[in-house]
Amino acid sequence: MNSKKTVTIFSPATVANVNCGFDVLGFAIEGMGDIITLTKVPKNGIRITSITGATLPLEASKNVAGVAGLAMLEYLKVDFGFELQIKKGIPLGSGTGGSAASAAAVVFGINQFLENPLSLEELAYFGMKGEVVASGNEHADNVAPAIFGGFTLIPGYDPFEVVSLPTPANLYVTIIHPHLVINTKDAREILPKVVPLQHAIQQAGYLAGFVSGLYTSNYNLISRSLKDVLIEPYRKELLPLFDKAKNIALQTGALGFGISGSGPSMFALCKGEEIADAVSEKLNSLYQTSEIKIDTHVSKVSEKGSRVISVYEE
């Protein structure tokens, strides 16, 4: 293998937490993602040769994609390395899984080069190793859907496990990205260390109801389960106009509305594209009257996760 080969991977943006599933639930969206081109090189390790679309460290040990790739290469004990060209398509710090997408793309790409020695679940595990750089703790609720696509559940971290959940056919999402900076670590520190047992029970019921709703395409149950008594009451304080935006989205027919990941993006899950478009329009109107600038993105909940978009060999 002295020929030069490159593989280019697309990994989608993702919404984590999804109201009732803090740290365990997430889903993939369409039309927004990171693109990484991997080139196999004789020298061990990971070298990042370019990053476009965002200002991020080129040093592999300080970059989520680099850290994830290095963890995987070390585990597999390969005697060569990779050069990465990273194109960020997900705005930094938006709360839609930008770091997870880059980590997902690199582990998915390495696996392609090696003819898939690892399962998607194992890739999510190594992808998660990159997340530590971004958020300071290991969580896989973005990286799992960025790899698997659709909805994913992390029922537990010990042992680490990913469950791929069904995606009802008619689920769309409106992403609302306000141009604010919320540090992921700050968003964690605002949370209480202890919660009422009663709230823990309620939230578990919502999550279980949501999972059941996905298996049965029961949009009413999905809607009733998109609640969050544990996290949202604290984090919404960081998001201007959150309550107003939520009321408008629900009145417009959204199944649910909440914070995407640790914010600042918000999401509205909707039955059908029309409602998702209407939510987008109304929330653009709302924020136009404020000092906060927003972008919105309407997408189907995507069953597609990371994938090869081109292979080049000479």
Q: Does 265 bind its own copies (CB under 8 A)?
A: no
Which CB sits closer to its own copies, 18 or 64? Answer: 18
Choosing from 99, 142, 203, 296, the residue that interacts with its own copies (CB under 8 A) is 203
In the structure encoding, which two tokens stand for residue 263, read together? 């914010």
Active site residue 83: no
Active site residue 184: yes
Contact region for its own copies (CB under 8 A) — 64-72, 189-197, 261-269, 279-287?
A: 189-197
Tracing tokens 């935006």 back to the chain, one arrives at: 245
Which CB sits closer to its own copies, 72 or 207? Answer: 207
Contact region for its own copies (CB under 8 A) — 14-22, 77-85, 117-125, 262-270?
A: 14-22
User: Which residue, 178, 174, 283, is CA-closest to 240?
Assistant: 178
Is the distance from CB of 13 to CB of 97 less than 8 angstroms? yes
Q: Does 217 bind its own copies (CB under 8 A)?
A: no
Is the distance from CB of 227 to CB of 20 less than 8 angstroms? yes
| Residues counted in the chain | 314
Choosing from 113, 126, 206, 287, the residue that interacts with its own copies (CB under 8 A) is 206
Contact region for its own copies (CB under 8 A) — 15-23, 46-54, 87-95, 97-105?
A: 15-23
Contact region for its own copies (CB under 8 A) — 1-9, 92-100, 186-194, 247-255?
A: 186-194
* DSSP-derived secondary structure for 263-307: SS-EEEEEESHHHHHHHHHHHHHHHHTSS--EEEEEEEBPS--SE
What's the closest the beta carbon of residue 194 comes to its own copies, in angstroms? 4
User: Which residue, 109, 160, 104, 169, is CA-closest to 130?
Assistant: 104
CA distance 177 to 233: 19
In the structure encoding, which two tokens stand for residue 80, read together? 């060569």
What's the closest the beta carbon of residue 240 comes to its own copies, in angstroms? 25
Q: Which one is catalytic: 6, 14, 96, 131?
A: 131
Positive or negative torsion for Cα 244, 248, 251, 257: negative
Q: Which residues are near its own copies by CB under 8 A?
A: 20-25, 153-156, 159, 161, 163, 165, 191-197, 199-212, 215, 221, 224-225, 227, 230
Indicate which residues carry an active-site annotation.
Answer: 131, 184
